């Protein structure tokens, strides 16, 4: 067995090239996954890579709407009605010594579309390396983390190590649309003694993330010419009354709810639509909002209940809305995630990180939701989140990933595989 740092240095160009190849494959979602996704070629690349590494088990799991519907019914997790044509997860398992603790790495192959392509310095799916960074759509979110987990196994192979426990890598699709790929994986029964979600974490260990609920509220008014405004009812004005009440709810949360790792819950009015002309009293209006809430202290049912109560209370105080109540719909949800810091998986990760990088890792929470929640909440696995890259690069023009961050993640993952697998 050879020194991991030395082997990493000797093979780093090969490991970087594998990432570059994957980033060069366009795997973007269509309409946040609702209209489909282009993951097929990327997943074929992953299958070929796993085969070349001698994976003991490789499973191609076509996406199945029935599985997502079952999850939604049982766990209130699932984004229904997505076009899943030619979309599939890929799972690869590398067998380790019998009796060693198993580890599962979770990453998604789909990326966001490269909008404003004219603003990119280079074509988004033709990755380039400049000043120690790789530029290309998906290098940070999250092909860097996915490939780092694969190359961690390759590093151990190249250094002559036998895996102390089974290592499974899940390359899932349709994550950007709310996590359907990982939802299907956990519903298929995939589990491990420990799970690492490989999303970018700004060189920190993430042990919590926010939950979220997207609401749309539709208002009915009575349209008429603005010169006879008294004869009409402005749907926009009714919406504003409700928005003010929801803002008061958010302020109350801000004052009363405190989480050790996360910011206070928040409500963002992201879209408002209504009216046809300045000379017409608007007969229709709607707004869409995302509520982010903290785990443990809050849950999805609580958020839906409080949101609905505010809308209904304000409606009852208004004669028009009492007779024409606003209609509330929910179009995407995701539960929060939290992992206890005193768990052996967390302790082992901290030790592996320190051994690999000669510094201590900082523990934080994330504003952004991801698939960590699914492995913790549904699969019931001890779960942590750590991956290369900076969250600010997600979904941006000229998305980039520092190659040092990518190589460090490979080493940390490899150390974790060794340390965790040997735990009793």
Q: What is the pLDDT of residues 198-241, one digit of tens each?
A: 999 999 999 999 999 999 999 999 999 999 999 999 999 999 99
pLDDT at 367: 87
Read off the pLDDT band of 101 (50, 70, 90): very high
Q: Cα angle at 28 between 24 and 31, to 5 degrees?
A: 165
Task: Provide mean pLDDT across the span 63-73.
Answer: 97
Indicate whether 118 pLDDT > 90. Answer: no
Tell me which H or E stretch contains 330.
strand 327-334
Task: Give the pTM.
Answer: 0.93
Task: Provide mean pLDDT across the span 393-411.
Answer: 97
Task: Provide mean pLDDT across the span 8-19.
Answer: 98
As assigned by CATH, the class of the 211-334 domain is alpha beta
Query: Packing angle between helix 144-158 and helix 4-23, nearest 10 degrees?
Result: 140
pLDDT at 115: 80
Condensed to tens digits (0 to 9), the pLDDT of residues 171-193 reads: 999 999 899 999 999 999 999 99
Q: What percent of the chain stands above pLDDT 70? A: 100
Q: Whole-number mean pLDDT of the chain?
A: 97
Q: How far apart are CA 231 and CA 235, in angstroms?
A: 13
Read off the pLDDT band of 117 (50, 70, 90): confident
Q: How many helices (H) and strands (E) does the chain have?
A: 11, 20
Of 330, 369, 382, 381, the closest CA to residue 179 belongs to: 369
Tell me which H or E stretch contains 319.
helix 319-323
Residues forming a β-bridge with 205: 363
Task: Provide mean pLDDT across the span 308-322.
Answer: 98
Indicate whether 317 pLDDT > 80. Answer: yes
Q: Would you kindly state where each structural domain of the chain is located, as residue ranges?
A: 4-209+336-421, 211-334
Indicate whether 294 pLDDT > 80. Answer: yes
What's the distance, Cα to Cα, between the start and end of the chain in Å? 22
pLDDT at 424: 72
Q: What is the CATH architecture of 4-209+336-421?
A: 3-Layer(aba) Sandwich (3.40)
* 364 to 74, 114, 259, 383, 393: CA distances (angstroms): 30, 29, 11, 14, 18
């Amino acid at each position: 067995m050879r020194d991991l740092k030395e082997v990493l240095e000797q093979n780093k160009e090969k490991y970087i090239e594998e990432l570059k190849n994957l980033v060069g494959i366009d795997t973007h979602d269509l309409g946040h996954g609702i209209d489909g996704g282009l993951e097929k070629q990327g997943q074929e690349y992953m299958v070929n890579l796993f085969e070349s590494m001698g994976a003991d088990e490789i499973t191609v799991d076509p996406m199945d709407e029935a599985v997502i519907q079952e999850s939604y019914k049982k766990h209130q997790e699932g984004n229904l009605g997505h076009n899943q044509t030619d979309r599939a997860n890929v799972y690869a398992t590398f067998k380790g010594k019998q009796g060693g603790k198993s580890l599962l790495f979770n990453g998604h192959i789909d990326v966001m579309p490269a909008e404003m392509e004219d603003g990119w310095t280079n074509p988004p799916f033709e990755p380039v390396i400049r000043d120690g960074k790789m530029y290309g759509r998906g290098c940070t979110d999250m092909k860097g983390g996915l490939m780092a987990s694969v190359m961690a196994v390759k590093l151990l192979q190249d250094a002559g190590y036998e895996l102390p426990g089974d290592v499974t890598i899940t390359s899932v699709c349709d994550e950007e649309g709310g996590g359907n790929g990982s939802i299907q994986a956990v519903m298929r029964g995939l589990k491990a003694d420990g799970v690492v979600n490989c999303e970018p974490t700004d060189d920190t260990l993430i042990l919590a993330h926010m939950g979220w609920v997207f609401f749309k509220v539709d208002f009915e008014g009575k349209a008429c010419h603005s010169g006879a405004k008294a004869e009409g009812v402005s749907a926009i004005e009714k919406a504003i009354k409700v928005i003010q009440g929801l803002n008061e709810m958010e302020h109350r949360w801000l004052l009363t709810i405190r989480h050790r790792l996360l910011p206070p819950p928040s409500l963002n009015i992201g879209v408002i639509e209504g009216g046809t002309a300045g000379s017409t009293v608007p007969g229709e209006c709607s707004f869409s909002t995302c509520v982010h809430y903290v785990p443990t202290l809050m849950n999805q049912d609580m958020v839906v209940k409080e949101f609905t109560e505010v809308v209904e209370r304000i409606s009852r105080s208004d004669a028009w809305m009492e007779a024409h109540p606003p209609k509330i719909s929910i179009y995407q949800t995701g539960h929060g995630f939290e992992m206890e810091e005193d768990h052996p998986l967390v302790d082992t990760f901290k030790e592996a990180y320190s051994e690999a990088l000669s510094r201590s890792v900082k523990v934080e929470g994330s504003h952004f939701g991801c698939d960590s929640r699914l492995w913790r909440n549904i699969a019931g696995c001890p779960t942590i989140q750590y991956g290369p890259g900076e969250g600010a690069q997600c979904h941006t023009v000229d998305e980039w990933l520092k190659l040092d961050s990518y190589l460090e993640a490979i080493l940390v993952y490899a150390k974790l595989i060794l340390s965790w697998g040997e735990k009793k």
